[in-house]
Amino acid sequence: MARIDIDYPYTAFLESQVKAGLFSSISEAARDAIRKQMEEHEKRRVTSIYAAIAKGEDSIQAGRTIPYSQNLMAKISKKGKQAALAEKSVKHEIRP
């Protein structure tokens, strides 16, 4: 089990949550805070996926398409590998 050190003002906040009776322990309050952060992260991730899909659908409707081919996939893979080797940053909407 991991151990995390938390400084003021975070400890004060967590302690106030326990004293108010909202949680039985600081660990429980911390887990709840992390769970909420994870949920928000997932909501943002899903929202960005839907935005990317909408952007793609708009491009299709406007006729801005590229025909699929094995050559296209090879070019995309090569470009991705070169970017990784060059340690180029990945756009946030592409990251897992």
In terms of residue numbers, what domain contains 73? 10-85
Residue 4 lies in a domain: no
Domains in the chain, number: 1
Is there a domain that residue 68 lies in? Answer: yes
Is there a domain that residue 1 lies in? Answer: no
| Chain-centre distance for alpha carbon 36 | 13
pLDDT for residue 90? 77
Task: Please write the tens of the pLDDT for every residue from 32-77.
Answer: 999 999 999 999 989 989 999 999 999 999 999 999 998 999 998 8
Q: Residue 36 domain-assigned?
A: yes
Contact 52, 91 (CB under 8 A): no
In a domain, 96, yes or no: no
Say if CB 17 and CB 23 are below 8 A apart.
yes
Q: Does some domain include residue 2?
A: no
φ/ψ region of 95 (left if φ > 0, alpha if ψ in -120 to 50, else beta) reads beta
Is position 91 within any domain? no
**pLDDT value, residue 12:** 96
> Which of 4-13, 28-37, 51-60, 87-96 is predicted least confidently?
87-96
